[in-house]
Each structure stands twice: as structure tokens, then as C-alpha cells.
Structure 1
Amino acid sequence: MNPQVNIASDLTITVRRVIFFVLSLGTALLMLYLVHQTLAVTIPTIIRITILGLFALTLPWMVVGFWNAIIGLLICQCVKDPITFILPKNMQVRDTLPITSSTAILLCIRNESPARLLRNLQAMLEDISQDQLGSFFHVYVLSDTNEVSIAEEERASFEEMRKNWSPQIQITYRCREDNTGFKAGNIADFCQRWGKDYDFALVLDADSFMASSAITRLVRMMQANPRLGILQGLVIGLPSTSPFTRLFQYGMRLGMRSYTMGSAWWQADCGPYWGHNALIRLHPFIKFCDLPVLKNSSGTPYSILSHDLVEAVLMRRAGYEVRIYPQEDLSWEENPSTLTEYIRRDLRWCEGNLQYRNLLTLPNLRLVNRYQLVLAITMFLGSPAWIFLIFFCTIAYGLSVNPSALVNIDYLSNLLIVTLLMWYLPKITGAIDVLLQTSKSKLFGGRWRFCINLVLEMVFSLLMTPITWLNHTIFILGLVFGKKGGWSGQTRDDHSISVAQAVHQFWPHTILGLGLSSLLYFKHPEALPYGILFFGGLLFSIPLVVITSQPWLGRFMIRNRLLSLPEETIPAKELLPLQLSALQVSENTLHNT
């Protein structure tokens, strides 16, 4: 199929992208000018260029997030119906549009708890069944499990589920003997065996959960738009009892809507694909989205870890649209339960994103897609840039007899304030969106409680950010010197981190934070509060990791309605079959108040 091109729509998208590029480039240049003015004229040229170069590496994600958030907030507040403003007309379909396409639901798993998988899948199938749409869906449980005991339990459990649901909804379980290509290889194996039998595939991770209405909305939109190759649903975090998860996904929830709405405005048909909770059109996916094989310096082939963006780029190169539905729509995932688990997942993404450097020269890619690949790379390269900036600037400032000979203090204060504002703006715009709507504020516990929670999250984010920067830096240096990353399973259940475990993993953070803090304290104590804003998380990394993993703190948060998501105020009926601990504790708390 050769998709038809809408010239008028393409012109509008081009204008939007030019506007966004000009705004982003202008902001980046202004920030670099501010850094240039902050540095004293006596600074040697080589040092000035180094500092400007490092700061430039930190800017892409910061500037893009800044303008995504502003544009998204303007759309959410000034446009009567943001969805109709963002999506093309042929995706604005009614819920009554008949479903005629066949969809394979792909549940990709590896060494996961079968009980959790069965719970989520059972609830999803019951929801689909109630809508009497089971005949249009076929579930494929695609297992890469290599632990024998788990594989045996999986096989028995899903066989029983298959019997229980047949013939209403078909379920197929398959376990590969080796996980060549990781998750992308898992899906590729499905495509080779069964892909030609279906129109679409709904890709789910082990921690995914989607309501029937969210699934069928994606299907209806893809049916209505034959140019649509990938449709990503907006994913939100499931309510959790873990303190870390509650803190992390509270901020993520605030920044997500305005950020995603703003990015959808200019990315449009070159939108994101996150690899789960998304619908793909199988024919072009099979034909055009086969991942290239990469080779290291010694010529040894290796698999792409972060496959999702690459598949989106290849789909767009083939002439098919990749879009996101930028509105919360009963589509969930579980976030990591501790900072250690979060970092483990993040480092896997780090390695995958850095592989994109080998794909920048792929032929016939759209300019926007090349930009997205570069942006994904700088997402993690910005971390060592921040660490080196913090280290060298603090050392230079601390050892200087006269700091005013190094920097213009007035400009430095302005630079710090503007940088922090740009960091936090996606969350600030989300907060403004909530505070301006009484109904939405009530879902977050009311305006006063919401503001308290916002401050808690921002302090947590300020502490957590430099910790992840240093982890990225250490990991990237390891990759440079030949250390291998890889793909491992996650510990999804709530669990506490002992002091000994935290010390073992985060002693480098503590030593660096202690050293930088001590230098400023003894040499220039007036600068210490400013330094703590940027490296305080390193100093307090061990207690932060331990405290945010404690179950008692999670229970305290729920009882006092701290960092509660809207689902904890008014639980979605689709979540009730999951019997989530956070919802049960929250419901008891609400009944007792």
C-alpha cells in the first residue's frame, strides 16, 4: 500500500516544526550566552570553550522539555478540545464505529511472576469480553523466560487460562529457547510465525494494563486512518504502595500531559513509540521495520536494545504515520519500586539509546527522525556533561581565592535560577493545569494538599537527579572501556533496601558529594546552598535510597493521602479486579475520614 499524502496537513506540520525549532534554538543560544557572560573575561579560552561545550550537551532535553511544556499548557488551557486540535480528522472517530479488524495482543515477558501476569491479563480479557469483542482479538503470550521453574509455571498457568477462555478469546503461549534480539527479537519471532494472520498488534509489557475502551479506541483510530502505522497510547503509572514509586510517578504524572500534548503538536506524524501500550499495523511493520544488525569495533554483531524508536523511525521512512494519543485513557504500567530498580532499568535504556549513534546515517530518514535519534542520544550524554560541569566548576570555585575573578556573581545567580526553572517547567505547567481546574484539583486531594505534594516531589526530584547523572556517567565510562551492559529482569514487588546494600551501590555518590560539600563549606560557605541544589542528592544518596524503599513510609503516605494519584481518590472500575494494595489501603483511609 502506498499511503496518500495530505499536502495541506504536511504544510501545517512543517510550519509547526519550524516554529518549534526556532524557539528551541533561540533558547539554547540564549542559555549559552548567559553562560558566556557568567564566565569572567580572564578565564582561559580553552576552559571557556570546554564549559560551553559541556553545557551545550545538557541543553537539548532541557530546551525541548521547556517548550513542549509551554506549548502543551497553552493547548490544554486555550483550546476547547485539544484532541481534535492535535489529531487529524480521520483519527477523530466515534466509539460506536464498528470494529472489523483482527488484532493480536502481544504480552512480552521474561522471568516474571506468573500470578501477576495472570491477574492483569484476566482483568483485561474480562473487560474485552463484556464489550462482546473477543472474536476480534487473539492473545499471544510471548515468553523469553530462561528460568526453568518459572517457565513450567507459566506453561501450566497459561494453558489453564487458554482452556477457560476458549472459544471466546483465543490464547497462545510460546516460550523461546533463547532470547536472540531481546524483546524486539521476541516480537519478530511472532511476526514470522503468525503476523500475516492479523491486521494489528497491541504490544504489552509484563507490567502493562489497559482497559477495553483504551484498546478499542486505538483500534478504531487505526482502522479509520490507513496511513497510520503506529499509534502510541499515553501511559500512566498504576497506584503503588512504594514510597519511591509514589514520589517518582507523581511528578511524572504532572509533567506528562502538557509535555506530551506539546510534543504531539510539532512531532505529529513522526511521534514516539515507547514499545508497549501501543498499536502497530502489522503489514508495514513486518515489511519495513526489521531492525538492522549492528557490529562493534571488532566486527561482532549485536542486537539493538532500545528498539522502539528505531521501529518508529523505520515506519515513518516507509511513509506511514507514527502518532500518539496525548490524553490519559485508562492505559497503565507499573513503575520501579525502588531507586535501585529504577537505575537498573535506566541504564538499560542508556545503553540502548547510545546505540543510536550507529543509525544516524541510515538512508532516507526524515530530518525530524534524525533529530529524534540525536535527542535520544543526548538524553544520556547530558548526564556526564552535568557531572563534569559540577565537579570542575565546584573545584575551581572552591580553590579560588577570589571567585569573582572566575565568574560574574550576578550572572551566576541568574543562570542557576533559569536552569532550575527550565528543569521544573514541565511539572510546573502540569501543576498550573491542575490548579486552574477545581474538578482536577479535587482528584489530587484538593489544592492545599496538592501544593504540599508538589513541594515534596520537587525536593525528591532535586535529590534524585544528580544520583542518576552519576550512575549514567559511571555506566557510560564502563561502556567506553569495554564493559557490557545487557538485559535483565526487574524485581517489581515492593521491597526494602538495607543500609549495607545502599552503601555498596552508592558509596561513590556519597564520597563525591561529601568532597564537593566540604570544599565549599571550608572555603566559601556562602556558596554551599547553591552547590547543594545541584549535588545535594549525591551527599544524601544512601539515606534517600533506604528511606524511599521502606514499606512503613508507603503506608504512612497512603493513610495521609500524600502523593496520591487521581485513581486513589476515585478508583477506575477497570482497576478494581487487580485488587491493588494502594487502592485497598486508600479506600479504607477514605472510609475512616
Structure 2
Amino acid sequence: MSVEGASRFEDLNCSQDPGSAADHRPLDAGRLRLRRLAFGALVVSSAAALTALLALSFSGNGISAGEWLMIGCFLLTLPWTVIGFWNATIGLALMRLSRDPVAAVCPLARGDAGVASTASTAILSCVRNEDVEAVCTRLEAMVADLVRAGRGQGFALYVLSDTNDAVIACREEEVFADLARRWEGEMRVTYRRRADNPGFKAGNIRDFLERWGANHDYALVLDADSFMGAAAILDLVARMDANPRLGILQTLVVGMPASSAFARVFQFGMRLGMRSYTLGSAWWQGDCGPYWGHNALIRIAPFEAHCHLPVLPGKGPLSGWVLSHDQVEAVLMRRAGYEVRVVPAETQSFEENPPNMLEFIRRELRWCQGNLQYLKLLGLRGLPLVSRIQLVLAILMFVSAPAWLAFMLIGAGLVTFGGAQMIAFDAATGLTLFITILTMIFAPKIATVFDILADARLRKAFGGAPRIVAGALSEIVFAMLMAPIIAVAVTLFVAGLPFGKAIGWGAQIRDSRALPAGLCAAKLWPQTLFGLAGFAWAFSLSPDLVWPMLPVILGPALAVPLAIGTSGPRAGALALASGLWRLPEETAPAECLLPLQLPAHASMGVSFFKGEIGKAEA
């Protein structure tokens, strides 16, 4: 038994009858241009209306210089909020009104996944100082699934190691040599470790292209924590075969069933927001879609020819090798005339999410440094307008956090030192603005919750309406606590960039170990100080002011206990026992996941016997 057929999230898997090119006619350029113009008009007009509402809130005795500065900061926070809202609105309309939402935004010929492809596909697993046995388990399950489907000969697995730990490197050689022996004659397995690591992951893949790229037509790019079932892989290959101008293709990547409390809450919220958001964004991005750097199929020839990343000039953290390579490679592929597409459907494409708050923050800061490097790439010649906008938005993603904190701190300073002469705020208009912004921020999650609750199959897959509503509400509270914690971390990191502050390229922690209190205190003291200072400031002005300030100051004040409380096996066991934040892959897991023997499945009584799914007997 699998989840296929239980959810519209899986309507686009490989078990479907293949469509023809005539069934999926590409959007003509004129219609796509109209979509983009309409979307741009919605975003600009919404941002203007919100800014006018803020200005109206400040206009009681004229707008002071400090208030104008706050308005400028507010403008920097708006692009992602407004775009997310309209993506979600369009996505919800498509989910509820379109007979085939995916085809409406991704009009690709599906090809026939049931017929063996004549193309050769390399599976690239990029690793660095990882848990070797865990990586091998995932890769072997993928190989076995493809071999069971009778398609192993069309693929070759490459384990591309950038490991610099001698002990781990020695273990990699042993484990992957054994993996190659076990699957000899079914699928070729190659292990390669670079002694030097120029270019990080992008350099790792570039090295593969120079050594073996000419032997293959496509490459399936994986991270160390990636897992994909054969159905999802074969579907991507069939679509790539059927669309010769397609350069990069991927589906939605969902969180693997997790036993960590932090990961469970986080990936449930991501799951809620992902589909409506991506449907809406695909509606206007069209052939200038995103590339998330993993769980994606690339066409090797144009990628090798046109997606070579430059070494950024200058000194400091924003120079040198490009860290966030994926979006740059996407815009270079599009510049070369090839389409970059996302199929906004949840299939058998999985990843692991950070198991605790500290690892999550470290990942955010790595992305922050990489995205801010795009400042040096905005002048690339020949980029389509949408691609250039995508680079700007990627930068603004991490500019918005410092702008948001600056908005708050400037306002606090004006109230503290200037009084009514420096700032006058209309409470009623301000409350309207606050509720509007909050609704827009959570619109992608709200939209998907509406869609789930309106569909009996989806309700069942996610555990029933009461569990869905309780999980969504608790996740929104969790997200509101986390947002200012992350904002403080990003702001301090951005402030340190001119002074050489950078994030290291180290191994990621993937297990659900308990975080020590001392480590959390050492890493999160700025957030704690920010939160406690906010409480003291609000209380000193008026005890009643504490309540409206809670969304800003409560999370940071509780950062250390929140980090500790959501880490560790005990917290994970409680989260699993609660029944909240449950995903369809937990209650009815796809058979391809069973060989992984995930702790989340074992804790729910899923048995692993002869590859079949059943509930373990008491």
C-alpha cells in the first residue's frame, strides 16, 4: 500500500498515463508576458497600498525624518511578503478551480515513464564529512528501486566526495567500494574524492562534468540527505526526453519523515506553504523557474557549456567561489535559451531538514552569505528580465531581516527619545496594517490548509481535520516565535560581513541529538538580550504595551529554552506521540521509503518485512 491515489499532491507521479505534446502545449510568449505584467501590477500596487497605509498611520502631525526612515525600511521588507501573498492567492485559485493545476503552470509533454529511455543518466551524490552508512543506505535504496523497475542499466551512480576528514574518507572508500561490488552488473557505481575542494559543491559537479560528463546525457543532482524513489526519477527523465529545450527540471522536495521535534514542526509548515506558493510562482515565472540545487535533473551538454560559475572578484566573504550556486546556474541556463522548470507536485522526492534550531540558523547564514554574493552578479549580460528579478529577490530575502529590525529599533528610539514630537502613530490604522501584513505572511500556509480541508482524500492523508487545524495553528505560533530569532541572527551576520565575518563550509549535523544548554546560551545570547530588553522597554513605557510587542520579543526571550526543548530524542518522541505535524508519508508511506527504516516510521508501528507495509502487531 502506498500513498499514491490518496492525495492530489501525488496526481503527477509516474503511474499516470503519459500525455502527449499536444495535450501540454507550451504557453505562448504573449500570454506569459501578460501573466507577468498582471503579477507585477498586483505586487507593485499592493506594496504601494501598504506603504500608503503606514504613511497614513504616521501622518497625525506630519511625517518626521525618522518616520520616513522607518517607511524606507518597511519598503525593503515588502517584496517577499507581497509576492508570497499573491503566489498563494493564485495557487489557491488554481488548486480549487483548475482541473489540472500543474499542467496549467507547467505545460510540458510528460513523455512515457514506462518506456526505457535511450538517454544515459548520471546520479550525482555530493558528500562532505557525512555519516557514511546513512548516505549509503539512501543511495542503495534508490539503486534497488531503479533496478526493481527494470531501469538500472540506464543510470550510473557517482559518489562525489569533498570529505577532508581522513577517518571518514577511509570509511567512504570501504563502504562505496562494497556498494559497487553488490550492484555490479545492475548499475555502475563510481566513488571519487577530491583532495582539493575549489568551488565547493558547484566545483565538485564541475569536476564530474570534466571527467565523465561526455558519457551521459542527464545528471540527477543530489545532496547527501536527498532521497528519491524510482517513480519520481523516471518521471523526470521521461519529461526531459520529451522536451528537448528543457535544461533543468525538478518537482517539489518534501521533508522526509523526521523524529526530531524541531524538524517535524518546521517541515509541516513548509509542506503547508510549499504547493500553493510554488503553483503561484510557476504561473508567472514559466520557463524561468527555480533550481534548488538538489533533487533535480539537468541536461548535461548545455549545463557544461553555459553554467560555469565565475570566481567573484575582490576580497572578503562576498568574493571568491559562489556559495549559492543553484539560482545562478538557473539564470545562466535560461540565458542560453533552455527552459528551467519546476513541476509543482509532491512526488517521491525527499530531503532531511535541520534537526535543531542551531543547525537551522547555520544553514540560513550560509544561504545568506551565498545570496548576498549575487550583488556582484547583477550586471551579468544577456539575462532575461525575470532572471534578473530573481537575483534581486534572492538578495532581498536576507536584506529584509535587518530592515525589519531597523524599523523596530528606529521606532523604539523615536518613542524613547523624541516622544510625540518625533513619532505619532494612529493605533487603529496601525492595527489594520499589522493584521494585513500578518495575513499576507501566512497566506501560503492558509491557502494550502483550505485546500486540504476542502478535499476528503487530503484530510485523510494528513490525519483528519482536527489534527490538521491543530497542527497548522501550533506551527504558526512556532513560526512567529522563530521569525525574530532568525532575524536577529541574520542581522548580526550581515553587519559582520564588512569585517570579514563568514560562515564555514563544514559538515551538517543531521541527527536529533539534544543541544547542551551552554552551547545554546553561547550561540543565542544576542536573541535573549534583544527579547529581554524589549520586555523591559515596553514595560517601562506602559505595561499594556507588552501585549502588542509579544510577537516581536517573546521568541527571542525564549530562544535558549526553545532551542533546548525542541532538540533531542525525548522531545522528538513527545512530538511523534502527540500526533501533530503528521505527513502523508508517515501514515501511508511509499514503499520506496521502507528500506531506510526511518525512526519516525518505526515509532508509529510501521513494519519492514519483505518490502511490504503493514502495522506491526502489538
Q: Which range, TM-score by smaller chain?
A: over 0.9
Task: Report whether the alignment pairs 1:110 with 2:128.
Answer: yes
Q: CA RMSD in A?
A: 1.9
Tell me which amino acid in the other structure corresponds to 1:305.
Answer: L
Give yes or no for the alignment of 1:24 onto 2:43: yes
Q: Judging changes above 3 Å, is the alpha-carbon distance between structure 1 residues 508 and 7 closer, same or farther for their aligned structure 2 residues?
A: closer
**Mapped contact 2:317–2:369 kept (Cα < 8 A):** no
Q: Classify 1:465/1:592 alpha carbon distance in 2 versus 1 (closer, same or farther; 3 Å).
A: farther
Q: Give the secondary-structure state (helix, strand or coil) at the position aligned to 2:503.
A: coil
Pick from 445, 461, 465 the counterpart of residue 483 of structure 2.
Answer: 465
Unpaired runs of 5+ residues, structure 2, are 1-24, 608-614
Please report how far the alpha carbon of residue 560 of structure 1 lies from its aligned counterpart in structure 2 after TM superposition.
2.5
Greater CA drift, 102-111 or 527-536: 527-536
The answer for the alignment partner of 1:37 in structure 2 is 56
Determine the C-alpha separation between the residues in 1 that align with 2:38 and 2:563.
42
For 1:122-521, list aligned pairs within 5 A.
122-297=140-315, 302-397=320-415, 406-521=424-539
Distance 1:274 1:106, change over 3 A: same
Which residue matches 2:105?
A: 86
3-state SS of 1:295 partner: coil
- In 1, the alpha carbon distance for the partners of 2:373 and 2:267 equals 27
Q: Supply the AA of the counterpart residue of 2:480.
A: L
> What secondary structure sits across from 2:347 in the alignment?
coil
Q: Tell me, what secondary structure is at the counterpart of 1:329?
A: strand
Shift of 1:464: 0.3
Offset at residue 400 of structure 1 (A): 6.4
Give, in whole Å, the separation in 1 of the partners of 2:96 and 2:318. Answer: 52
Q: For 1:6-17, list aligned pairs within 5 A.
A: 9-17=28-36
Alpha-carbon shift at residue 220 of structure 1 (Å): 0.4
User: Matched residues in 2 for 1:397 and 1:451: separation?
Assistant: 39
Equivalent pair of 1:55/1:389 in contact (CA under 8 Å)? yes
Aligned 8 A contact 2:415 2:422 in 1: no
**C-alpha contact (below 8 Å) 2:318/2:370 kept by paired residues:** no
Quickly say closer, same or farther: Cα 1:433–1:537, change in 2 above 3 A.
Answer: same
State the Cα distance separating 1:273 from its structure 2 match: 0.2
Alignment partner of 1:547 is 2:562: no
Matches of 1:210 and 1:461, distance apart in 2: 28
Of 63, 72, 79, 2:82 maps to 63
Provide the rounded CA distance (Å) in 2 between the counterparts of 1:402 and 1:309: 46
Name whichever of 528-537 and 163-172 sits farther off: 528-537
Q: Deviations over 1:330-381 (max 9, x none)?
A: 1000000001001111100000000001011101100000000000000000
1:486-518 Cα offsets, whole Å, 9 max, x none, are 322101111111221111111111111111111
Q: Distance in 2 between matches of 1:222 and 1:232?
A: 10
Contact 1:83–1:326 at 8 Å: present in 2 too? yes
Deviation at 1:592, TM superposition (A): 8.4
Q: Cα–Cα, structure 1 residues 357 and 578, in superposed 2: closer, same or farther, change >3 Å?
A: same
Q: Secondary structure at the match of 2:79?
A: helix
Normalised to the residue count of structure 1, the TM-score between the two structures is 0.96
AA aligned to 1:557 is A
Rate the CA distance shift 1:585–1:300 in 2: closer, same or farther, 3 A.
closer
Shift of 1:402: 5.2
Q: Is residue 184–residue 307 contact of structure 1 (8 Å, CA) maintained in 2?
A: yes
Q: 1:246·1:563 contact (CA, 8 Å) conserved in 2?
A: yes
* Partner in structure 1 of residue 3 of structure 2: none
CA deviations over 1:266-292 (Å, ceiling 9, x no partner): 111000000000000000000000001
How far the C-alpha of 1:525 sits from its partner, in A, is 2.1
Where structure 1 has 5 or more consecutive residues not aligned to the other structure, the ranges are 1-5
More divergent stretch after superposition (321-330 vs 496-505):
496-505
Checking the alignment, whether the CA contact within 8 Å between 1:391 and 1:516 is kept in structure 2 is no
Aligned amino acid, residue 248 of structure 1: F
The answer on whether the counterparts of 1:234 and 1:329 sit within 8 Å (CA) in structure 2 is yes
Which amino acid is the alignment partner of residue 604 of structure 2? Answer: S
Output the CA distance in 2 between the equivalents of 1:8 and 1:372. 20
- Give the secondary structure class of the aligned counterpart of 2:133: helix
Aligned match of 1:3? none
CA–CA distance in 1 between the matches of 2:328 and 2:73?
A: 27
CA–CA separation in structure 2 for the residues paired with 1:257 and 1:298 = 37
| C-alpha separation in 2, matches of 1:106 and 1:329 | 20
CA distance in 2, matches of 1:498, 1:233: 37
Secondary structure, counterpart of 2:390 in structure 1: helix
Amino acid at match of 1:152: C
Report percent identity of matched pairs. 44
Distance of 2:449 and 2:70 partners within structure 1: 33
The SS at the match of 1:495 is coil
Query: Is 2:547 aligned against 1:529?
Result: yes
Instruction: Output one character per residue of 1:394-432: Cα deviation in whole Å (capped at 9) or x when no partner.
Output: 343456665996101111111111111111111111111
Residue 610 (structure 2) aligns with: none
Contact 1:75 1:82 in 2 (8 A): yes
Q: 1:43 to 1:148 in 2, by over 3 A?
A: farther
Q: 1:200 to 1:17 in 2, by over 3 A?
A: same
Secondary structure (helix, strand or coil) at the match of 2:345 reads coil
The residue type equivalent to 2:35 in the other structure is R
Q: Is residue 575 of structure 1 aligned with residue 589 of structure 2?
A: no
- CA contact under 8 A between 2:316 and 2:500: conserved in structure 1? no
- Quick one: structure 1 residues 299 and 515, their matched pair in 2 at CA, closer, same or farther if it must change by over 3 Å? closer
